[in-house]
Structure 1
Amino acid sequence: MVHRRALPEPLQHTPFTRAEARRHGVSRKRLEARDIVRLGHGLLASSSVDTGWPAGFDEPGHGMGRLSLAALARQFPDAVYSHGTAALVFRLPLPDIVASDTTIHLTWCSGTGAAQRKGITAHRSPVPEEDRVQFRRLPLTSPARTWVDMASHLDLTDLIILGDAIVNRPWDQDRRVDGLATLAGLSDALLRAGSVKGVRNARAALARCRVGADSPPETLTRLALVDAGLPEPAVQLKGDPSDRFAPAADLGYREQKIAIQYDGKHHRTASQQASDANRDAWFQERGWLVIRLTSLDLGQGFSRLIHVVRRRFEAHGNSATA
């Protein structure tokens, strides 16, 4: 049996660099032992260290977990994670081609030299203190600044989806809590960034971002209705604003009594289906038209929804154009 000298306590539970190992008196030979894993980017770790992401996180294209990113950040104290790398840490929705990016994005905020290293996409740009955060113990551009940075990498629709996800008020234990930023926060970050690449795209997206979209398909539903020439639906439309127990529709039109619900994957459970049935019954008993959408509607460009909503507007004697 091979008896190896234990690594120093500070190195046992996190990735580290060779320089850090030397500072703790670890020999080169010890670092070549089989229980030491090479993670890339000059990082090593004990094979007993879990370097992945917690449950629920999609594996990023660059393959580096939070502990590895934290160790890498120690090498570059003047930089922050940015662009798609920051967005994935915040668990924000990105197109597959961006989410699968195999490089790590770092932005150097000062005049210091940016690291030109394989696997790292280096950016140099002023990042005011208001646009930097520590999240999951990582130095990151704020969600709002990340949105600004992604304006030159995403098309208009994907940037609206990203903005909606940032300003959304998500559910937490049956109540809504504040999102990662506000619409005003996105605007302020854009102003602080100045004439960055993609600024026109960002301005156009900001005008169409809304609070309350619980998923990218809900954002796409809203955009499809507007792009079809219909009035913009309200988001998280409460059936009766005066009744705190009244359900809300994902999207809807109060005057025409149209409640639109998008059924994502979480709607497949028995408890959620029962809740959905009670919600739909509440609207239907009061004369509302309930339209439930699925991924099939998404794949068909919401053509059925657009047709039904337009007919409902006409039946109510309303113009079916915005």
Structure 2
Amino acid sequence: MPRTIAVPRELTTAPFAGTAAVAAGLLTRRQLQGDTWCRLLPDVYVWSGLALDHRTRCLAAGLHLRGRGAISGRSAAGLWGAGVLVRDGPVEVTVPLSTRLRAPDGLAIVRSPLPPYDATERAGVSFTSAERTAFDLGRRLPVVEAVVAVDAMLAAKLITKSGLAAFATDRPGWPGIDQLHTVLLASDAGAASPQESRLRVLLLGSGLPRPVTQHVVRTAVGIFVARLDLAYPTWKVGVEYEGDHHRGRGQFQRDLRRMNALNACGWTVLRFGVADIRDNPGATVAAVRAALDRVGAYQHHRG
């Protein structure tokens, strides 16, 4: 009967350096090669019973870096709390231009200036500051996704527009800085989801007026009716993104009551799904433009 290997409790909650565990007498080198442990990066292991989510992989990357760089990009945004920006795939890392570091499987390395004040450290893991994280995402991602990223960090109150603008002003000439200024103009702290951001950017990029985010509609006597994702209050036209959670029967009934109440207040509300934004952007814009046209809006935006 195979002998059961005792698993040290202190090694079950996070990645650890194999050499450190061996030096502390917690494991032997032979035990590290067994099925109980999973090697994530050179000399970085994790208990096989621990969920390998992106945060765990970030902690592993931090051990591997040992102060030679910082977790950055979408990965850093996730550590800051903007989890909607995290994608499956390698952990994003920034290292100084002078640092020689090969990228093992599981890491995506960017070489860029990285002054000490552009990073912070928690639990032994170094990652870019909130402003540097937004700065990098805003200038490196495609424009629409860059706005999505900055929106998410604004909504989470991790940064402010003025703070990010000041951060950028201190770094003239950095690659992508012109795009970042464009992204800042288009960004909005009121976006409640990435799809809302994409929908708003689609409308703006098509020459429509800038909508108000999270607009509260009330009756004539001040009773709350609804909060609209995007709205043109002057003309009482609302635009909303509908996710899959609206498909349930209970939510569907609530949506019907909500739409009826908005109609009673004189509002026209258009609702779009992910396929409308991704696959039929022209039709989506045309529908909003037609709704605005019916109420005599935005003629001065034509050209």
Counterparts of 1:34 and 1:311 in 2: how far apart (Å)? 62
Structure 2 partner of 1:132: 119
SS in 1 for 2:228: strand
Structure 2 partner of 1:57: none
Structure 2 partner of 1:311: 290
Structure 2 partner of 1:14: 14
Question: After superposition, where does 1:40-55 map in structure 2 within 5 Å?
Answer: 40-47=41-48, 49-53=49-53
Confirm whether residue 31 of structure 1 aligns to residue 32 of structure 2.
yes
- Contact 1:106–1:122 (CA under 8 A) maintained in structure 2: yes
Confirm whether residue 87 of structure 1 aligns to residue 77 of structure 2.
yes
1:68/1:224 CA distance change after superposition, 3 Å:
closer
Q: In the comparison of the two structures, how many residue pairs are matched?
A: 294
SS in 1 for 2:269: strand
Kindly provide the amino acid, as one letter, of the partner of residue 42 in structure 2. Answer: H
1:239 corresponds, among 192, 209, 217, to 217
TM-score (norm 1): 0.78
- Contact 1:187–1:206 (CA under 8 A) maintained in structure 2: yes
CA displacement 1:103-142 (0-9 Å, x = unmatched): x332346x9845324233153423453x434579843213
SS in 1 for 2:225: coil
Counterparts of 1:9 and 1:46 in 2: how far apart (Å)? 10
Question: After superposition, where does 1:76-225 map in structure 2 within 5 Å?
Answer: 76-78=65-67, 79-89=69-79, 90-93=82-85, 99=87, 101-102=89-90, 104-108=91-95, 113-119=99-105, 120=107, 121=109, 123-127=111-115, 129=117, 131-133=118-120, 138-168=125-155, 178-225=156-203
SS in 2 for 1:140: strand
SS in 2 for 1:33: coil
TM-score (norm 2): 0.82
Structure 1 partner of 2:265: 286
1:151/1:41 CA distance change after superposition, 3 Å:
farther
Counterparts of 2:289 and 2:110 in 1: how far apart (Å)? 49
- Bigger helix fraction: 2
SS in 2 for 1:239: strand
1:136/1:272 CA distance change after superposition, 3 Å:
farther
Counterparts of 2:256 and 2:115 in 1: how far apart (Å)? 48
Counterparts of 1:206 and 1:303 in 2: how far apart (Å)? 24
Percent of residue pairs identical: 23
1:16/1:128 CA distance change after superposition, 3 Å:
closer
Which ranges of structure 1 fall in alignment gaps of 5 or more residues? 54-64, 169-177
